[in-house]
Amino acid sequence: MSSPLVLLAPLPGWCMPLAEVPDAVFAQGLAGDGVAIDPTAGVLVAPCEGEIVPMQDSRHAITLRTAIGVDVLIHVGIDTVGLGGEGFELLVRSGERVRAGQELMRFDLDRLARRVPSLATPIVLPAGGVVVSRFAGRAVKAGEPLMQIVAGTAGAARAEGGEEIRRSLAIAFDHGLHVRPASQVVAALRPFAAEVSLDFRGRSASARSTVAMMSLGAQRGDVVQARARGVDAAQALDALAALLPAAERPASQAMVARVVAAGTDLRRIEASIASRGIAIGRVVAWTQPDLPVAEQGADESAERAALDRAIARVRRHLEEAGRAARGERGALLAAHAELAGDPELRSRAEEWLRRGKSAAYAWRRATRAVAESLAALEDARMRERAADLRDLEGQVLHALAGQDPGTVRRFDPTAIVVAADLPPSAVLAMERGAVGGICTARGGPTSHMAILAAAAGIPALVAAGPRVLELAEGTPVVLDAEHGWLDVDPPRAEIAAIERAVAQREHERAADAAAAMSEARTRDGVRVRVNANLGSLDEVAPAVESGAEGCGLLRTEFLYLERAQAPGEDEQAAEYQRIATALGGRPLAIRTLDPGGDKPIAYLPMPREDNPALGMRGLRASLWAPELLRAQLRAILRVRPAGQCRILLPMVTDVEEVRAIRRIAVECAGELGMAELPALGAMIETPAAALAADSLAEAADFLSIGSNDLAQYTLAIDRGHPELARRLDALHPAVLRLIALVAEAAGARAKPVSLCGALASDVDALPILIGLGVIEISAAPAMIPRLKRTARALDAAQCREIAHRALELATAAEVRDLAAVARARSRAASEALDGGKP
């Protein structure tokens, strides 16, 4: 055996065994032995002295023939052949002699990260070489020792003699004989002793050499001549023909077309995420046929009494379920119970009863009339409430028919329930494990269905469009509510990979729960505080159990909605005190009342508004009704200990609003004999507030970025719009640039800045937020353990680099691709430091 040749790392990055490359051809060694590097820079240098081997039409891979005659293939990224050379710049020519460390190629690292499954770059010996040592499982710099190789072969000796057999074969692979199909050819011939070669346009290549076949430049549809010699030559060509259909077959072109069609039809339906998670199962269409209803009633008084009993039964059913539920689920059930007794609905039903109609007919006409009026409104969230009324209609009709008001269809635990829309009662009957997942054609991420699915832990997608309604019953699907799509009839290999990912996620969930109470620090020591968004006292205990370090946003609307008059100061003070006590001294940011929009208040009759989202919202409404504001401020000031609470002001657009509230708060404090105010914060929810962050940071004690409203006002998309919701993404560069302005303004004045809203619960967003200087977030309680684990895997210095790159991108999709790649790299580095533990 010759002396080993040392190959140097051609790229900086994380060096991994081939088995960890997310591609079966490389991971199983079909392309040759070696290692892979996940690069951190876009410059590829020569690993040793050698000669560039010709490779037709290949800009994403380079083969170097070394001084000992062993070829070294360097394949940048996975599936990069499909880019057609886009993003790559070759700096050398075929046949050129190069020295170790010489630049061979430049490539756009960020661009590739957005376009391909992985940047992992295999460095392999396709034929005629053996790896005697390697240095995987660590970070490497370009030019550091990577592998030692010697000349030789790991294969068996080939048989000689016998007649030569020839066949004409067609290339059926999408991108021709690139590394993956060439490696499959090598693997298919491995059991045979025959020598096999391919001839194409006057050139010949060994079918046992990946590099040699790639150098032919044969593309899809080209015909090559296969030659085999040896005792098992015929069997070898039979194995080859299983990959490359015989060119003389009349059906060969149709076969090629089918292969191409199968490769290009992604069958992916994009949608909006309503409840995070991944589910694998089969489509089950949700249907709820109308119950038969007799139009004419027997007796007006009897029909009225029957309707009274049915409504009372539904209300009891909802109230009992609400008392057993927690958080938003319980609040929603209570709201539905109130809706069942709504006087407007009852008044409309009475009109039909007086005309001699049956109780069922009267109730249906009443609910549908109101539902139709809501569905005609411009406000998308009001249109969603029409679905609640249709659901309530069905529950009362079931009760009138002597059935359980909560009667719904039962499903197989693996069912992916598909519907145009799904009534809240159907979701209320589902718990984790009752179904695999939910996907609706309509609806939005703020719908009651979405809230209930999240509370039940059911992966759910909404606003998927009419294509989902065309899926046949029983169609295999993968519902990915982490990324926002439904994959239809995916390949078995893909399902197996997703099943492994789901099992890994369950393992991680258990590990996250065990570490939930520990604080989160990045690998370089930056403290990241993770608080919870809360909407009632019932939500505090689950949040604390999930590791919440405080409440970054208490929505106080729960005290004001669904009642005939405003809550008094004493009632509010008592409720805020119970929440503060339950938090056990942890910080509590209480947001003052934010009425308007989709939260109308009966006893606060505001002027009619054509566009409520641009009208009396937040502080504008509070200043318009100062007595309500004063009562709330006094109630907050009464909470003890005094330093636990912070006052958070919603929808600030002007510094004078903050000053006005501070003056009122000072007066209230004086009335209570208090010398100092708690911290007073401004919510940044509009572009105007973000652009005025300098002056707001001067007037307020802290800033809190509300990502939901900031995104919808910046991108001019209603966050509840069923058709546009999927295009509303707070990781859009325009929104991120505003967040960067706010973080910079707060930092310059040493004022704390936090972020709440859906973006705070988004693990892919966390590296960018930390990089922008937002190291305090307030998230959905269920996401807190996962967010903490994500933060622990990050490096704040690298996050700053990622954030800087994100601000220069053009679309939210590009930012998400960058963030996902960055998070995956950070996790791999963290696991390596921890000895492989997730």
The pLDDT value given to residue 333: 67
Lowest-confidence region among 229-238, 424-433, 560-569, 708-717: 424-433
The answer to whether residues 799 and 826 belong to one domain is yes
Q: Pick from 400, 421, 455: which residue ends a domain?
A: 400
The answer to whether residues 37 and 82 belong to one domain is yes
Average pLDDT over residues 368-388: 65
Lowest-confidence region among 311-315, 332-336, 433-437: 332-336
At what angle are helices 626-637 and 655-671 packed, to 10 degrees?
Answer: 60
The pLDDT value given to residue 747: 95
The answer to whether residues 629 and 778 belong to one domain is yes
The answer to whether residues 486 and 578 belong to one domain is no
The pLDDT value given to residue 438: 94
The residues, ordered by sequence, that sit 6+ positions from 500 with a Cβ below 8 Å of its Cβ are none
Q: Pick from 400, 430, 457: which residue ends a domain?
A: 400
* 11 SS3 class: coil
Residue 263: is its pLDDT beyond 50? no
Q: Determine what percent of the chain is predicted with pLDDT higher than 90.
A: 34
Residue 608: is its pLDDT beyond 70? no
The pLDDT value given to residue 420: 85
End-to-end distance of the chain based on CA atoms, in angstroms?
Answer: 41
Give the CATH number for residue 486. Answer: 3.50.30.10
CA 67 to CA 48: how far, in whole Å?
A: 9
CA 781 to CA 789: how far, in whole Å?
A: 14
- Confidence label for 249 from pLDDT (cuts 50, 70 and 90): very low
Answer whether residue 502 is part of any domain: no
Strand-pair partners of 456: none
Give the CATH number for residue 145. Answer: 2.70.70.10
* CA-based nearest residue to 50, from 122, 17, 98, 8: 98
Cα→Cα distances 482→404, 809, 816, Å: 35, 22, 12
Residue 596: is its pLDDT beyond 90? no
The predicted-structure confidence for 626-672, as pLDDT tens digits, reads as follows 888 999 999 999 999 988 999 999 999 889 999 999 999 999 999 99
The answer to whether residues 122 and 181 belong to one domain is no
Q: Pick from 400, 420, 444: which residue ends a domain?
A: 400
Answer whether residue 414 is part of any domain: yes
CA 165 to CA 175: how far, in whole Å?
A: 27
Average pLDDT over residues 516-536: 94
Average pLDDT over residues 373-389: 62
Give the CATH number for residue 382. Answer: 1.10.274.10
Average pLDDT over residues 527-533: 96
The answer to whether residues 236 and 282 belong to one domain is no
The predicted-structure confidence for 57-71, as pLDDT tens digits, reads as follows 678 899 999 999 899
The one-letter amino acid at 213:
M
DSSP conformation class of 357: B
Report the domain count for the chain.
Answer: 5
The answer to whether residues 728 and 756 belong to one domain is yes
Query: Within 13 Å of residue 617, how many CA atoms lie on the same side as its CB?
Result: 15
Domain hosting residue 697, numbered range? 522-601+613-833
Residue in this structure with the two tokens 């919870």, named with its chain if needed: 532
Average pLDDT over residues 223-252: 70
Average pLDDT over residues 95-124: 88
Most confident region among 2-11, 298-307, 516-525, 708-717 by mean pLDDT = 516-525
- Confidence label for 507 from pLDDT (cuts 50, 70 and 90): confident
Average pLDDT over residues 313-328: 72
Which residues are identified as catalytic?
448, 756
Answer whether residue 506 is part of any domain: no
State both tokens at 87: 């993003």
Residue 442: is its pLDDT beyond 90? no
Answer whether residue 607 is part of any domain: no
Answer whether residue 608 is part of any domain: no
The answer to whether residues 395 and 474 belong to one domain is no
Answer whether residue 504 is part of any domain: no
Answer whether residue 682 is part of any domain: yes
The answer to whether residues 784 and 706 belong to one domain is yes
Q: What mean pLDDT, rounded, does the chain reach?
A: 82
Give the CATH number for residue 209. Answer: 3.30.1340.10
* CA-based nearest residue to 486, from 455, 443, 441, 448: 441
CA 682 to CA 648: how far, in whole Å?
A: 6
Per the model's pLDDT, the better-predicted residue between 804 and 158 turns out to be 804
Answer whether residue 100 is part of any domain: yes
The answer to whether residues 126 and 231 belong to one domain is no
The answer to whether residues 555 and 625 belong to one domain is yes
The answer to whether residues 12 and 74 belong to one domain is yes
State both tokens at 570: 């004493």
